[in-house]
Amino acid sequence: MTDVPSSPCGQHEALLEALRQTVGAAAVLRPDAHDPLDRYQVDWRKRYRGQALAIVRPASTDEVAAVVRLCARHRVSIVPQGGNTSLVGGSVPDDSGQQIVLNLGRLKRVLAVDAANLSMTVQAGCLLADVQRAADEAGLLFPLSLASEGSCTIGGNLATNAGGTQVLRYGTARELCLGLEAVTAQGEVWDGLKSLRKDNTGYDLRDLLIGSEGTLAIITAATLRLYPRPTHHQAALVGCATLVQCVSLLQQARTQLDARLTGFEVMHYAPVALALHHLPEQAQAARALLTPEQPTLPAWTVLLDTADTGRASTLTDDLETLLHEAQQQGLIERATLSQTDAQYRAMWTLREAIPMAEKIEGHMVKHDIAVPTSLVPAFVEQAEATLQQRVPGCRIVCFGHLGDGNLHYNVQAPVDMNTEVFLAQHEAAIHSLVYDLALSLGGTISAEHGIGQLKRAELGQRQSATRTAWMRAIKLALDPDQRFNPGRLVP
């Protein structure tokens, strides 16, 4: 294919007209004063605001491939986008006005459900909630679960290797994907939509693309792993005085419940208090832990989730036994068990309300770290001690997936300090302190949110030169002109 010379506006007008001919005029959106298209150009946390040449919304894999070929010919880079729920600025354009945002929201069909094979094939633009619903209608379960499941897409989930609340039982998005279809930087379609559990035929290209954040290829469809749908589930909210007790409770729950333990979330009192303050209806389940004898929130609240395909009474009995024994051993202060589906949903609504409550509260220094579960208490204790020395009075807002060692460890300004001043003066130092500690304990600076543009420089500074060289070599091999999501992920 012959490149079009990179000259000015004429080149862009020719590209835009060719895009309209390819996907239809209504699917090529231009930001203007009437509609700045912020839903495509501003990230979820509102930290990054871009300016695209256009937002292009193809309706098929062939159209995606054609768009890629046109952009390659005109030497225009592409930012792949699903639901634009990235928390690291990974799915919005830069401010050059020269990039195409390729939004996959129109590729939203469920292509097939194979109940006997426990698999389903869907297009990348399917909302996660719709994927869950399609599996449920077939009497099966797709277990990936995120607070943003009503707006995030399965393509984005795979591109970022999303985690969520059931990693403890089912693993991350990578473990839930059997095959992929993707468009290469040359505009070719790779059909890897196999539904096999075993395929030992060389490099695993599927695993290479999962977690690559749109820098190597554009995922257009996926074959997903399904599970038998549990016949019943039950949750408990548990109050503990220390994180050490939470970890001990997790050990006992794993032993006594085994695979029936599907989630084990932990919430410091601060994020629960924020949820109760800003979103009282969504956080009402927390009030079940408040009594005249114990009128304040526990230091740590555990949301323990279970599911089973056996008898409901057996699960209830085993869960009650676990909590009774834990209370006898002094591991827990108080507990409440869901008795109805409404109570079960309310407990999860409390946990899922925390990110929105944080957003309402205002900017914080946010982290998505992970350390071995056994070292989570040491991390939290050492991090707070170090941070209080650096910024006396700073407030820790910590919650996350204790079952897999992933904490959303966020730091808020002292009550008497302006938030913007706090961020300007202390954000870089806080990042450094938190990341240094996580890495010293064998952890990571990004457990499930990815790297995007937010952590790209940090990754380059902290990972080995060998790993950086390998990442760059892979990027250049698959995207030699570096047109896919430039300036993201790869240091």
Q: Is the pLDDT reported for residue 345 higher than 70?
A: yes
Q: Do 323 and 393 have their domain in common? A: yes
SS (H, E, C) the chain: CCCCCCCCHHHHHHHHHHHHHHHCHHHEECCCCCCCCHHHHECCCCCCECCCCEEECCCCHHHHHHHHHHHHHCCCCEEEECCCCCCCCCCCCCCCCCCEEEECCCCCCEEEEECCCCEEEEECCCEHHHHHHHHHHCCEECCCCCCCCCCCEHHHHHHCCCCCCCHHHHCCHHHHEEEEEEECCCCCEEEECCCCCCCCCCCCHHHHHCCCCCCCCEEEEEEEECEECCCEEEEEEEEECCHHHHHHHHHHHHHHHHHHEEEEEEEEHHHHHHHHHHCCCCCHHHHHHCCCCCCCCCCEEEEEEEEECCCHHHHHHHHHHHHHHHHHCCCCCEEEECCCHHHHHHHHHHHHHHHHHHHHHCCCECCEEECCHHHHHHHHHHHHHHHHHHCCCCEEEEEEEHHHCEEEEEEECCCCCCHHHHHHHHHHHHHHHHHHHHHHCCCECECCCCCCCCCHHHHHHHCCHHHHHHHHHHHHHHCCCCCECCCCCCC
Q: Do 339 and 275 have their domain in common? A: yes
In a domain, 446, yes or no: no
Q: Do 208 and 239 have their domain in common? A: no
Q: How far is CA 365 from CA 13, 86, 402, 425, 454, in A?
A: 41, 16, 20, 12, 12
* Segment 180-199 mean pLDDT: 97
Cβ–Cβ under 8 Å, residues 121 and 111: yes
In a domain, 3, yes or no: no
CATH number at residue 300: 3.30.70.2190
Q: Is the pLDDT reported for residue 6 higher than 80?
A: no
- pLDDT attached to residue 225: 98
- Distance, in Å, from the CA atom of 410 to the CA atom of 318, rounded to the nearest integer, reads 35
Containing structural domain, residue 409: 232-440
Average pLDDT along the chain: 95
* Segment 209-229 mean pLDDT: 98
- pLDDT attached to residue 311: 80
Q: Is the pLDDT reported for residue 4 higher than 50?
A: no
- pLDDT attached to residue 323: 97
In a domain, 403, yes or no: yes
List, in sequence order, every residue forming a beta bridge with 369; answer none if it has no partner: 407
Q: Do 292 and 306 have their domain in common? A: yes
What is the pLDDT confidence band of residue 2, given thresholds at 50, 70 and 90?
A: very low
Q: Do 274 and 417 have their domain in common? A: yes
CATH number at residue 196: 3.30.465.10
- pLDDT attached to residue 21: 98
Q: Name the residue type at position 387.
A: L
Q: Do 412 and 328 have their domain in common? A: yes
Torsion of CA 332, 338, 343, 346, to 10 degrees: 40
User: Which of the listed residues 103, 122, 140 is the one where a domain comes to its end?
Assistant: 103
The model's pLDDT over 377-386, given as tens digits with 9 standing for 90+, comes to 999 999 999 9
The pTM of this model reads 0.93
The model's pLDDT over 452-474, given as tens digits with 9 standing for 90+, comes to 999 999 999 999 999 999 999 99
What is the pLDDT confidence band of residue 10, given thresholds at 50, 70 and 90?
A: low
* Segment 185-189 mean pLDDT: 98
In a domain, 282, yes or no: yes
Q: Do 245 and 320 have their domain in common? A: yes
Q: Do 257 and 399 have their domain in common? A: yes
Q: Do 179 and 244 have their domain in common? A: no
Q: Do 381 and 472 have their domain in common? A: no
What is the pLDDT confidence band of residue 271, given thresholds at 50, 70 and 90?
A: very high
- Contacts for 152 with CB less than 8 Å, ≥ 6 apart: 82, 83, 85, 127, 128, 146, 162
User: Which of the listed residues 228, 247, 271 is the one where a domain comes to its end?
Assistant: 228
Provide, rounded to the nearest whole percent, the portion of the chain with pLDDT above 90: 93
What is the pLDDT confidence band of residue 167, given thresholds at 50, 70 and 90?
A: very high
* Segment 196-225 mean pLDDT: 97
Q: Do 22 and 115 have their domain in common? A: no
Pairing of strands 119-123, 406-412: unpaired
Q: Is the pLDDT reported for residue 313 higher than 90?
A: no
User: Which of the listed residues 88, 103, 118 is the one where a domain comes to its end?
Assistant: 103
In a domain, 4, yes or no: no
List, in sequence order, every residue forming a beta bridge with 396; answer none if it has no partner: 411
The model's pLDDT over 76-88, given as tens digits with 9 standing for 90+, comes to 999 999 999 999 9
- pLDDT attached to residue 9: 54
* Segment 263-271 mean pLDDT: 97
- pLDDT attached to residue 34: 87
Looking at the structure of the chain, the number of domains it has is 4
Q: Is the pLDDT reported for residue 113 higher than 70?
A: yes
* Segment 309-334 mean pLDDT: 93
Q: Name the residue type at position 142.
A: F
In a domain, 449, yes or no: no
Q: Do 241 and 184 have their domain in common? A: no
In a domain, 2, yes or no: no
Chain centroid to CA 481: 28
CATH number at residue 58: 3.30.43.10
Q: Is the pLDDT reported for residue 152 higher than 70?
A: yes
- Residue identified by tokens 């095959």 is 179
In a domain, 121, yes or no: yes
Q: How far is CA 491 from CA 417, 459, 469, 470, 475, in A?
A: 34, 7, 9, 11, 11
